[in-house]
Amino acid sequence: MQFLRTAFWVVIAVALAFFCMANYVPVTVRLWGDMVMETKLPVLLIGAFLLGAMPFWIMARATRWRMKRRLESTERALVAATASAAPATPVAAATVTTPILPDATPSPLTPTGQA
């Protein structure tokens, strides 16, 4: 699976490199008012992509952080519940016995009642 992920990113990087080489021309961008910015086309497109992806990346990181906190809280509660419940309720070991016929040899998979 790691190989497929690496191959995917290599293909994307090579395609992006070819796109940048073919379209490395200056463009003029009019901002607000009379402000003008002159930049290369690939820089403008990559910057716009990263600016658009940033809110989703932040949202994914926040969700991951929140879920990790919930999981850790649940794990702590489970450990506390099992630690407090373990000494209060001892469980007796049950012994299972099966009768063995005189002419039958017990197989290793059948319980014999001996521990």
Identify whether the C-beta of residue 105 lies closer than 8 Å to the C-beta of residue 111.
no
Task: Note whether residue 2 is domain-resident.
Answer: no
CA angle at residue 112 from 109 to 114, to 5 degrees? 120
Task: Note whether residue 56 is domain-resident.
Answer: yes
What is the C-alpha separation between 59 and 52, in angstroms, rounded? Answer: 12
% the chain with pLDDT above 70 = 74
The pLDDT, as a whole number, for residue 91 is: 54
Task: Note whether residue 107 is domain-resident.
Answer: no
Q: For the residues 28-55, what does the mean pLDDT come to?
A: 90
Q: Which helix (H) or strand (E) holds 45?
A: helix 41-85
Task: Note whether residue 109 is domain-resident.
Answer: no
- Which range of residues forms the domain containing residue 61? 7-82
Task: Note whether residue 102 is domain-resident.
Answer: no
Task: Note whether residue 37 is domain-resident.
Answer: yes
Question: How many structural domains compose the chain?
Answer: 1
Using one digit for the tens of pLDDT, what is the confidence trace for 58-102? 999 999 999 999 999 999 999 988 888 765 555 555 566 666 666
